[in-house]
Structure 1
Amino acid sequence: MNFKRNAAVLGVVAVGAMTLAACGSDNNSASSGTTVNSAASKATCEGKESLSAAGSSAQKNAMDNFVATYIAVCKDKGKDVKIAYNPTGSGDGRTQFIAKQVDFAGSDSAIKGDQATAAKDRCAASDAWNLPLVFGPIAIAYNLDGVQGLTLNAEVLAKIFTGAITTWNDPAIAALNSGVSLPNEKITPIVRSDSSGTTDNFQQYLTAASKGAWTKGAGSDFVGGVGEGAKGSAGVSQAVAGAPGSITYVEKSFADQNKLSTAKIDSGSGGVALTGETAGKAIEGAKFKNDAVGDMTLDLNSIFATSEPGAYPIVLATYEIVCSKGYDADTAAAVKSFLTSAANEGQTGLAEQGYVTLPGTVQDKLNASIAAIAAIG
């Protein structure tokens, strides 16, 4: 079976179904059921009618919300719009963007290196920008009968995902879970089999926070050397749901959907459960690699290596990769309009889906960067 093709088709069907529902509805509501105030929206709904995008499966649920909200806003302005987003994985999204197969890409990792150079060619000699629309906490989801509220840390996670710790009652896990009865059961790591920004962020977290226990490096492909593979965020979460003794890294929204137990993370001040508030506390300390208007690539070590009490540190930034300049006028107008809606009214309801809504300082910088996107000529 061609899983990549099926994932793309499912993504189109999901967004298409939402498009039909929104267009046929008398009340303008986003996918969360929240009413949209179209009059307050700064989206112009100008430019070409249809936009295409592909990439991160982690942001798929957020993208559904953005699309439904944008359709509702534009309907009130007397315009019909269409957004086709295929959750084929961050690596594939970047590849399609470079090849001019989509108007923008969704990615949980910033475009960089050779890909950034190739994207510059795609963008008529202008840079591609990484614009974070949603912060998505990465849950450490596990399936362990009778064990709730498990606490882990970066060092233990590094050893689990390299095969140095293989059973749930290992002394290193027991030391973090005093009073908890841990079974003498094999640990089965479940990892992403496809190129994934979630994998990249998880491995960056292990690199930054595991005190040298993770020496494998990072990147969009899993490099730990152990584990069973599954495709996409839905794939790994469903695999854990069906496999006792298993553990994975996956966006909170997918862990919630599959009713998976999630671990607390100890960064030195005790176990911290994953909530919007605890993830938001980590994000408050985030720094950008560039303070100017434009590219908004984050210095993720400022999040991953935080020792702030009460902060949950495993948080990825979901980027939209766009041309800073290089679109034709109609495409530039449509991209700016959609992203403007997503960065503002589109944020409503994201917290209920397991994401962290944009902090005000990030939102202000994002709006300025979106406004700076320009057409050729």
Structure 2
Amino acid sequence: MKLQRNGRTKALAIGALAVVSSLTLAACGSDNNSNTTASGSSASAASGSSANAACAGASGQLLGAGSTAQANAVTQWVKDFQSQCSGVTVTYNANGSGAGVQNFNAGKIAFAGSDAALKDTEIADSKKVCTGGQGIDLPMIGGPIAVSYNLPGVTDLVLDGSTLAKIFDGKITKWNDPAIKALNPSASLPDLAIQTFHRSDASGTTKNFTSYLNTVAKSDFPYTPDKAWPAKGGQAANGSAGLAAQVKQVKGAISYFELSYATQGSLSTVKLKTASGDAVAPTTDAATAFIASAKPAGTGNDLALKLDYNTTAKGAYPLTLVTYEIVCDKGNKADTLPALKAFLNYTVSSAGQQSVVSLGYVPLPADLAAKVKAEIATLA
């Protein structure tokens, strides 16, 4: 973890407290259900969207951990699933993609949420706990990564990849820099220091964000994309909720996190000037257009995707992630396998996918969802 600047410790502690690091929803009928939802978001989803979850004899406790990007979606999925499958208790610890994969490869959980596909070394490690098999990536939901900022009086900011890369590498340090002015000629940009915030924990969101910067502006952001923040400088906070809290509190702040956090916090978001020449806002429609251009990257049972950050598709928002559930293709624990398959089948169902649209997530394309369903059926 990077050291925070003096004077930020208290603020970052508040941000850390804003992160709901775990969610445990007891079985249907528990009085605790209304008090244990991640980030308080599930109430905003449409009711009645949990129709026909197939419990398939599932029972017991199902443990998962990882991505904070999907925490709001998982909260809703668990609530809906458990309203019908009352014999199952699903617990998801939103401790970041990196920690989730580590937990999975240590055999502590049945599934991990990650905003980045498994690396070769992580797949090799998974074979130690997936007896006769390995960890695989199952795409589950998509969503835009918002670049959010706190700049009073500026509500329609446009940035391109090069300018954004220079900001997060400390090469552009003032909001009235000529490069920002050129992209926003009519905006009243203040002579204010830019305060960049990045994740302190290993994060798939960071991997996606740094992959975007390194792809579209490699000379301005020459660092190898990673779950751990690779550049120098900036300030750190834990989890997407921690970053959103900093943007909310600090004038001149800019950071990156899932659109749902920006929506919840009523935070301004950047329009990205893309390879098509358009300035595109982070909307679900724009993210859908981007995901549709993704290509398969996994082999065998693995359904990992390759995202084209330099897409020229009109109206596509290129800073979009697909978050995965990581499971064993073979070697799952017999006592949790029925619950795992039942829960995943609900999350990828039409009802499950639609239940989180109002939270800022993007459903999988129908053909990809069908592939995920087929793969879930083969888990052993």
Residues 22 and 95 of structure 2 are in contact (CA less than 8 Å); yes or no, is this contact kept in structure 1?
no
What is the correspondence of 1:1-377 to structure 2 with a 5 Å cutoff? Answer: 10-13=20-23, 15-16=25-26, 20=30, 31=43, 32-36=45-49, 38-39=51-52, 41=53, 43-74=54-85, 79-268=86-275, 269-290=277-298, 294-300=301-307, 302=308, 304-344=309-349, 345-374=351-380
Residues 53 and 106 of structure 1 are in contact (CA less than 8 Å); yes or no, is this contact kept in structure 2?
yes
Higher mean C-alpha displacement, 364-373 vs 9-18: 9-18
Cα offset for 1:274?
1.2
Residues 22 and 68 of structure 1 are in contact (CA less than 8 Å); yes or no, is this contact kept in structure 2?
no
- Pick closer, same or farther for the CA change 1:206–1:16 going to 2, 3 Å: farther
Residues 151 and 265 of structure 1 are in contact (CA less than 8 Å); yes or no, is this contact kept in structure 2?
yes
Deviations 1:321-354 (A, max 9, x none): 1000001333222111110001012112312101
Name the CA distance, whole Å, in 2 between partners of 1:132 and 1:221. Answer: 22
Residues 18 and 245 of structure 2 are in contact (CA less than 8 Å); yes or no, is this contact kept in structure 1?
no
Deviations 1:237-279 (A, max 9, x none): 0011000001001100011111110000001312111111111
> Number of aligned pairs?
358
Other structure's SS at 2:336 match: helix
Deviations 1:40-91 (A, max 9, x none): x4x23424421001111111000001101111232xxxx4211000101111
- Pick closer, same or farther for the CA change 1:330–1:18 going to 2, 3 Å: closer
Residues 198 and 250 of structure 1 are in contact (CA less than 8 Å); yes or no, is this contact kept in structure 2?
yes
- 1:369 aligned partner, one-letter code: E
Name the CA distance, whole Å, in 1 between partners of 2:161 and 2:28. Answer: 39
- Pick closer, same or farther for the CA change 1:86–1:16 going to 2, 3 Å: farther
TM-score by length of 1: 0.89
Other structure's SS at 2:358 match: helix
- Pick closer, same or farther for the CA change 1:114–1:318 going to 2, 3 Å: same
Residues 88 and 339 of structure 2 are in contact (CA less than 8 Å); yes or no, is this contact kept in structure 1?
no
Name the CA distance, whole Å, in 1 between partners of 2:152 and 2:139. Answer: 37
How many percent of aligned residue pairs carry the same amino acid?
39
Other structure's SS at 1:121 match: coil
- Pick closer, same or farther for the CA change 1:104–1:278 going to 2, 3 Å: same
- 1:192 aligned partner, one-letter code: R
TM-score by length of 2: 0.88
Cα offset for 1:178?
2.0
- 2:292 aligned partner, one-letter code: E
Name the CA distance, whole Å, in 2 between partners of 1:367 and 1:278. Answer: 25
- 2:242 aligned partner, one-letter code: G
Residues 60 and 88 of structure 2 are in contact (CA less than 8 Å); yes or no, is this contact kept in structure 1?
yes
- Pick closer, same or farther for the CA change 1:95–1:350 going to 2, 3 Å: same
Other structure's SS at 2:286 match: helix
Residues 8 and 86 of structure 1 are in contact (CA less than 8 Å); yes or no, is this contact kept in structure 2?
no
Structure 1 residue runs of 5 or longer lacking an equivalent are 25-29
- 1:66 aligned partner, one-letter code: W
Name the CA distance, whole Å, in 1 between partners of 2:286 and 2:19. Answer: 35
- Pick closer, same or farther for the CA change 1:9–1:144 going to 2, 3 Å: closer
Other structure's SS at 2:335 match: helix
- Pick closer, same or farther for the CA change 1:122–1:351 going to 2, 3 Å: same
Residues 7 and 87 of structure 1 are in contact (CA less than 8 Å); yes or no, is this contact kept in structure 2?
no
- Pick closer, same or farther for the CA change 1:133–1:67 going to 2, 3 Å: same
Higher mean C-alpha displacement, 239-248 vs 47-56: 47-56
Deviations 1:297-318 (A, max 9, x none): 1112x2x121212111101111
- Pick closer, same or farther for the CA change 1:261–1:18 going to 2, 3 Å: farther
- Pick closer, same or farther for the CA change 1:55–1:290 going to 2, 3 Å: closer
- Pick closer, same or farther for the CA change 1:259–1:181 going to 2, 3 Å: same
Other structure's SS at 1:62 match: helix
Cα offset for 1:291?
6.9
Structure 2 residue runs of 5 or longer lacking an equivalent are 1-9, 35-41
Cα offset for 1:109?
1.2
